[in-house]
């Protein structure tokens, strides 16, 4: 089991006359009812890192196994959304796009957004999908939403390469801020994971969540500057608008890559604080509900 | 006597687990059935197998304290719902106890089910890694054991085929093979040997014997008394969530089978009203053994046929119902199972309306050997739902007086003693 590090492993428990010295190396697990709030058990998570890897790898593998066009799906979703947006919002409604060609303006936001939306959906369903495993084997349950969120990164990378291609096509060169891209990717991972923790735990109790999440994501899409720039939101609403953590993430991503975008200083700070709050709250709530997952799921 | 701390692999104190009623079976809403049953007249008395209840809650496990020393192999037996699986789930940390605590010293491997986390789209090779990781193996551990696992499962040729193309047997073999190669210091096993074909079961049993011989600590849940006695020197008996007895396996198994079945010609169920909603649509009423004169008796003569009468009530009309009887020896060996629908020509009863039924099963003369047998009941809807079942209800004995070959004074081994036809001719 992964509860042991290599040092402890040298001690084998077969012999009861082992000297006390080496007995100290044997891991002792204490089982009792837990009450109240718990935060992360980092040590345990680290010990289970290989399981994170295997579950992530499984998610990726299974996703492409029985599909005819495999990885192309990663592009199709954001790309076609971009085309529709370009036609209706860009061409017909003439929504401004920060001086960028509308297609790349929309696509540069749709890439991180699609990653976020898919990861959140996966994470929400992760516990219920692994119901059988949860009721039979112990491991930190947090690993399930975590590996769902990580598994989506492959799609993200595929969609991102298309974005690079489009930049060449439109002759747009990245700015010096491109080094911040990983930061914004990280922020969308954390947001999807944080919200995913809440929703997956809720989904165990109330299966309605599964249906609600699709709707939530749909609304969220329009509350985020994807099809339109943040500048069309009136100044006095911006603070409120910034409470949506994805505002800072999407705007930041676009700005870092294309060099055009609106004021993202304060709204990014608000976004980050909200993300941190969601994450901490999500961990606490998840850990609190975790005890009953196997009984209720 | 308390063992030295160092020798103890598992120690538990007052472990209790409470479930909210309906938590485990959330999909059932049988309110209507209950009200129907309330209006029907039958007595109420405590039912033996009903776990202790508080209002709205059920104690699946109640104040279980135990200590298992390093290297001990301990069996756990008990009726369905006695808390066996709950105990293993708590010890393997799948679920938390409501009260009490336990301490486990050593690497724990739990095997509550084979094939946990298998994905049909992935190949055998991929599933070995995935399943191994879920069970707690490290990648390099799996690398090392990989060939061993594959050859144990006998799937060398199909290792890169998606598991969905495997036969059920291959699937089970692979799943068990991965699990069998876990090397924890403490192994918790639940009923997993009850899968696969007989050949493979034997192989698994052999593997389990190796495991138990290596000085590992093993807690082993099974319904198979013969396996328990073969593998475990010691056994725990759980009843209604409580630890009833601990001792040598032979002794505990005997007590279990005795305690569960009364040596008597009849068994009359007395249902508490609130227990009825767990039952579903079939409520057993009485089970009787009638000897060749039609008298209720716990002793039958082998040379005459005898009958088993099972009365039950259906609380709603039902199709594809199957009602059966089970026969075991007091050592726990299965003799046979027989259903009322075994003969295909009797189709008229396929749909049964609600009401009380009496099933009569005739056991022919000269079938069973002398000895004591345990009679049980098994019911269900074909391919859909398990209804009431209990394999240990009545104990009865078969008397060989004037039976087959009884003029020979020797005792005969075997559970049956049929009257075969013999013809011998002088061949020169």
Q: Which domains are seen in chain B, by residue range?
A: 5-259 (3.40.50.300), 262-399 (2.70.50.60)
> Comparing B200 with A88, which gets the higher pLDDT?
A88
Contact between B130 and A58 using a beta-carbon 8 Å cutoff: yes
Contact between A13 and B186 using a beta-carbon 8 Å cutoff: yes
CA angle A3, A7, A13 (to 5 degrees): 70
Indicate the residue of B4, B102, B112 with minimum beta-carbon distance to A31: B102
Going by the DSSP 8-state scheme, the letter that residue A235 receives in this structure is G
Closest CA in chain A for residue B186? A13
> Which helix or strand (DSSP H or E) is residue B378 part of?
strand B371-381
pLDDT at residue number A10: 34
Contact between A16 and B71 using a beta-carbon 8 Å cutoff: yes
CA angle A103, A179, A184 (to 5 degrees): 65
Tell me how many residue pairs between chain A and chain B have CB atoms under 8 A apart: 146
CA B330 from centroid of its chain's CA atoms: 15
Residue to mutate among B89, B94, B98, with most A CBs inside 10 A, is B94
Helices (H), B274-396: 276-279
Contact between B121 and A62 using a beta-carbon 8 Å cutoff: yes
Nearest to residue B305, comparing CAs of B239, B361, B365, B261?
B365
Distance CA B296, CA A48 (A): 61
Which residues of chain A does B94 touch, with a Cβ-Cβ cutoff of 8 Å?
Answer: 134-138, 294
Which residues of chain A does B114 touch, with a Cβ-Cβ cutoff of 8 Å?
Answer: none
Task: List all residues 6 or more positions away from B207 whose beta carbon is below 8 Å from its beta carbon.
Answer: B152, B180
Q: Please report, for chain B, how many H helices and E strands are present, in that order.
A: 9, 22
Tally the residues of chain A: 297
Kindly report, residue by residue over A155-176, the tens digit of the pLDDT. Answer: 999 999 999 999 999 998 887 7
Distance from CA of A297 to the nearest CA of B (A): 9
Q: Quick check: A258 and A172 in contact, CB under 8 A?
A: yes
Distance CA A121, CA A113 (A): 12
pLDDT at residue number A15: 32
Question: A219 in contact with B at a CB cutoff of 8 Å?
Answer: no
Distance CA B262, CA B296 (A): 14
pLDDT surpassing 70 at residue A6: no
Question: A35 in contact with B at a CB cutoff of 8 Å?
Answer: no
Collapsed DSSP state (helix, strand, coil) of residue A96: coil
Q: Please report, for chain A, how many H helices and E strands are present, in that order.
A: 14, 1
Contact between A135 and B6 using a beta-carbon 8 Å cutoff: no
Distance from CA of B262 to the nearest CA of A (A): 35
Which residues of chain B does A135 touch, with a Cβ-Cβ cutoff of 8 Å?
Answer: 89, 94
pLDDT surpassing 80 at residue A220: yes
The DSSP annotation for B95-114 comes to S--SEEEEEEES-EEEESST
In this prediction the ipTM stands at 0.81
pLDDT bracket for residue A7 (50, 70, 90): very low
Distance CA A141, CA A138 (A): 8
Closest CA in chain A for residue B116? A133
Kindly report, residue by residue over A94-153, the tens digit of the pLDDT. Answer: 988 888 899 999 999 999 999 999 999 999 999 999 988 898 889 999 999 999 999 999
Distance from CA of B198 to the nearest CA of A (A): 25
> Comparing A40 with B51, which gets the higher pLDDT?
A40
Which residue bears the tokens 């439109």? A170
pLDDT at residue number A261: 59
> How confident is the prediction along chain B (428 residues), in pLDDT tens digits per residue?
444 556 889 999 999 998 876 544 333 334 434 444 554 444 333 343 444 445 567 888 999 999 999 888 899 998 767 888 899 999 999 999 999 999 998 888 888 877 777 888 899 999 999 998 988 888 999 999 999 999 988 889 999 999 889 887 788 788 888 887 888 888 888 876 655 566 776 777 777 778 777 778 889 888 777 778 888 899 999 988 899 899 999 889 888 877 665 567 888 887 766 666 667 788 898 899 998 888 888 889 888 999 999 999 998 888 888 899 999 888 778 899 998 888 866 655 567 888 899 999 999 999 999 888 989 999 988 766 778 888 888 888 898 888 888 787 777 888 899 999 999 999 98
Q: Other C-beta atoms within 10 Å of B402: how many?
A: 11
Indicate the residue of B7, B113, B184 with minimum beta-carbon distance to A136: B113
């Amino acid at each position: 089991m992964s509860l042991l590090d290599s040092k402890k492993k040298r001690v084998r428990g077969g012999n009861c006359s082992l000297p006390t010295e080496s007995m100290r190396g044997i891991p002792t697990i204490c089982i009792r009812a837990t009450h109240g709030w718990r935060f992360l058990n980092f040590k345990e998570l680290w010990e289970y890192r290989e399981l994170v890897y295997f579950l992530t790898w499984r998610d990726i593998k299974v996703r492409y196994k029985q599909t005819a066009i495999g990885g192309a799906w990663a592009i199709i979703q954001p790309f076609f959304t971009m085309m529709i947006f370009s036609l209706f919002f860009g061409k017909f409604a003439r929504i401004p796009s920060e001086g960028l060609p509308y297609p790349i303006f929309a696509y540069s936001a749709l890439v991180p957004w699609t990653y976020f939306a898919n990861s959140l959906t996966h994470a929400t369903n992760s516990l219920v999908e692994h119901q059988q495993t949860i009721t039979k084997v112990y491991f930190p349950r947090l690993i399930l939403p975590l590996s769902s969120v990580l598994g989506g990164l492959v799609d993200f990378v595929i969609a991102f390469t298309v974005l690079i291609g489009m930049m060449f096509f439109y002759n747009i060169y990245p700015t010096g801020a491109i080094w911040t891209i990983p930061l914004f990717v990280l922020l969308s991972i954390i947001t999807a994971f944080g919200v995913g923790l809440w929703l997956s735990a809720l989904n165990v109790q109330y299966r309605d969540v599964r249906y609600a999440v699709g709707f939530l994501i749909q609304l969220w899409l329009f509350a985020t500057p994807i099809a339109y720039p943040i500048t069309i939101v009136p100044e006095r609403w911006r603070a409120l608008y910034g409470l949506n953590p994805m505002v800072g993430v999407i705007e930041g991503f676009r700005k870092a890559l294309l060099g055009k975008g609106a004021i993202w200083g304060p709204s990014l700070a608000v976004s980050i604080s909200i993300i941190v709050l969601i994450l901490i709250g999500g961990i606490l709530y998840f850990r609190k509900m975790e005890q009953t997952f196997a009984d209720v799921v | 006597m308390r063992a030295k701390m160092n020798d103890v692999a598992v120690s538990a104190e007052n472990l209790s687990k409470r479930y909210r009623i309906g938590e485990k079976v959330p999909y059932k809403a049988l309110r209507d059935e209950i009200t129907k049953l309330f209006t029907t007249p039958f007595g109420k008395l405590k039912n033996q197998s009903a776990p202790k209840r508080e209002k709205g809650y059920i104690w699946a496990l109640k104040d279980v304290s135990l200590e298992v020393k390093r290297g001990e192999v301990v069996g756990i037996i008990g009726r369905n719902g006695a808390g066996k699986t709950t105990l293993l789930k708590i010890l393997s940390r799948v679920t938390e106890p409501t009260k009490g605590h336990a301490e486990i010293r050593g690497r724990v491997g739990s095997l509550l089910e084979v094939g946990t986390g298998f994905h049909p789209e992935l190949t055998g090779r991929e599933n070995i890694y995935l399943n191994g990781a879920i069970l707690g193996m490290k990648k390099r551990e799996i690398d090392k054991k990989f060939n061993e696992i594959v050859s144990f499962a006998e799937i060398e040729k199909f290792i890169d085929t998606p598991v969905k193309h495997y036969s059920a047997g291959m699937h089970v073999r692979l799943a068990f093979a991965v699990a069998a190669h876990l090397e924890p210091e403490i192994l918790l096993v639940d009923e997993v040997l009850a899968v696969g074909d007989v050949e493979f079961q034997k192989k698994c049993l052999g593997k389990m014997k190796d495991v138990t011989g290596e000085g590992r600590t093993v807690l082993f849940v099974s319904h198979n008394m013969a396996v328990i006695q073969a593998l475990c020197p010691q056994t725990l008996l759980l009843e209604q969530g409580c630890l009833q007895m601990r001792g040598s396996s032979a002794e505990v198994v005997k007590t279990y089978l005795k305690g569960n079945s009364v040596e008597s010609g009849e068994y009359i169920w007395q249902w508490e009203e609130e227990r009825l909603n767990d039952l579903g649509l079939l409520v057993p009423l009485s089970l009787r053994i009638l000897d060749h004169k039609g008298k209720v008796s716990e002793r039958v003569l082998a040379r005459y046929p005898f009958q088993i009468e099972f009365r039950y009530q259906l609380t709603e009309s039902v199709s594809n119902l199957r009602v059966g009887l089970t026969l075991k020896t007091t050592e726990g060996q299965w003799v046979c199972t027989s259903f009322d629908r075994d003969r295909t020509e009797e189709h008229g009863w396929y749909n049964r309306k609600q009401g009380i039924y009496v099933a009569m099963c005739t056991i022919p003369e000269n079938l069973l050997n002398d000895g004591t047998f345990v009679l049980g009941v098994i019911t269900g809807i074909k391919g859909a739902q398990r209804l009431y079942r209990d394999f240990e209800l009545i104990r009865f004995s078969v008397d060989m007086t004037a039976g087959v070959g009884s003029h020979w004074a020797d005792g005969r081994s075997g559970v049956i003693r049929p009257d075969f036809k013999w013809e011998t001719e002088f061949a020169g």
